[in-house]
Amino acid sequence: MRLALFDGDRLGLVANDEKVVDISDLVSAPAEAGPGAAMLMLLGKLDTLAEEIEQRAKSSESGLSLSEVKLSSPLPRPGKVLAAPMNYAAHRAEQKASGSVAELGVFLKANSSVIGPGESIQLPYTDRDVDQEGELGIVIGREAKRVTEEEAFDYVAGYTCVMDITLKGQELRSTRKSFDTFTPIGPWITTKDEVPDPDDLQLRTWVNGELKQDARTSEMIWGVAKIVAFASSVMTLYPGDVIATGTPAGTCTIKDGDTVTCEIEKLGRFEVGVTAKDAVPAPHYE
């Protein structure tokens, strides 16, 4: 199943890569719960609703054409966004970084930094570089606390494409990667039944149509199960929490007017813009 948010806050089932079937009636989230609350509820009830959703997919003649709707991020305000640093050896080498995910653990990105397809990354500063990083995103489906690697997939709802946009510099990762708009997520969530091996997917990113990253998730130092198990040993994971699994080689600086595209095998592709419209000189704090 491919679960999307579209036309504001409507819940959609994407069928055959071309139709969106409105399934908003399956859960009722109060409007004051904020954007995407319905998706978080749906993810928490996927086990019981899966059959009903499959039925809707079969009657998808009634759906809207994907080209007619405006997709937003499937998880506009996840409970939390975690990310694995330095999880690809080739990226570590290009960054001349010391330490891998095994030494560094995971870090948090602000959940307010999420944007969706067609929105724009806002460069904060006129005089500091910002890089793009395409990553496989794990979407949690069940409350997970200290789960083992063997049982980790029981707690995963599915996967999505994540861009972990990064201000270059010396501040902590959580600061450099938490600016508003720095976590594009899209185009939808693909449930795990459609992704038998998330540890072997092609991942590609382009800037202005030029291929920058082209790798397989089999190159990850820690695979999906290990990342989920480790993260759940630190903090309880909840439905809709997202874990970005690290970026392969090929990150590069993005500039005003650029377009960044991320595509992962079986998960789809999406694109965001880049703007320096409100950028200011970086402040110097003492």
Nearer to Mn ion, 164 or 263 (CB): 164
Residues 201-230 that bind Mn ion (CB under 5 A): none
Nearer to Mn ion, 87 or 191 (CB): 87
Task: Output the residue with the shortest Cβ distance to Mn ion.
Answer: 164
Nearer to Mn ion, 33 or 97 (CB): 97
Min dist CB 214 to Mn ion, Å, is 17
Nearer to Mn ion, 190 or 247 (CB): 247
Binding segment for Mn ion (CB under 5 A), chosen from 25-33, 38-46, 133-141, 215-223, is 133-141
Nearer to Mn ion, 26 or 249 (CB): 249
Nearer to Mn ion, 72 or 247 (CB): 247
The CA-atom distances, in angstroms, between 134 and each of 102, 107, 186, 203, 272 are: 20, 16, 11, 8, 12
Residues 227-256 that bind Mn ion (CB under 5 A): 247
Binding segment for Mn ion (CB under 5 A), chosen from 4-12, 128-136, 138-146, 187-195, is 128-136
Q: Which positions from 25 to 54 touch Mn ion by CB under 5 A, shown as an x/- string?
A: ------------------------------
Min dist CB 168 to Mn ion, Å, is 12
Contact call for residues 267 and 190 (beta carbons, < 8 A)? yes
Min dist CB 16 to Mn ion, Å, is 32
Nearer to Mn ion, 60 or 95 (CB): 95
Nearer to Mn ion, 5 or 83 (CB): 83
Residues binding Mn ion: what is the number (CB under 5 A)?
3
Interacting residue with Mn ion among 9, 133, 241, 258 (CB under 5 A) = 133
For the residues of the chain, what is the DSSP string, one character each?
-EEEEETTTEEEEEETTTEEEE-GGG----GGG-TTHHHHHHHHTHHHHHHHHHHHHHTGGGSEEGGGS-EE-S-SS-S-EEE-SS-BHHHHHHHT----HHHH--EEE-GGGEE-TT-EEE--BSSS-EEE-EEEEEEE-S-BSS--TTTGGGGEEEEEEEE--EE-SSS-HHHHT-STT-EEEEEEEEEGGG-S-TTS-EEEEEETTEEEEEEEGGGBSS-HHHHHHHHHHHS-B-TT-EEE----S--EE--TT-EEEEEETTTEEEEEEEE-TT-BPPP---
Residue 192 phi, psi dihedral angles, 5° rounding: -65, -25
Min dist CB 244 to Mn ion, Å, is 6
Residues 137-156 that bind Mn ion (CB under 5 A): none
Contact call for residues 124 and 161 (beta carbons, < 8 A)? no
Min dist CB 247 to Mn ion, Å, is 5
Contact call for residues 136 and 216 (beta carbons, < 8 A)? no
Q: Which positions from 154 to 193 touch Mn ion by CB under 5 A, shown as an x/- string?
A: ----------x-----------------------------
Q: Return residues touching Mn ion (CB under 5 A).
A: 133, 164, 247
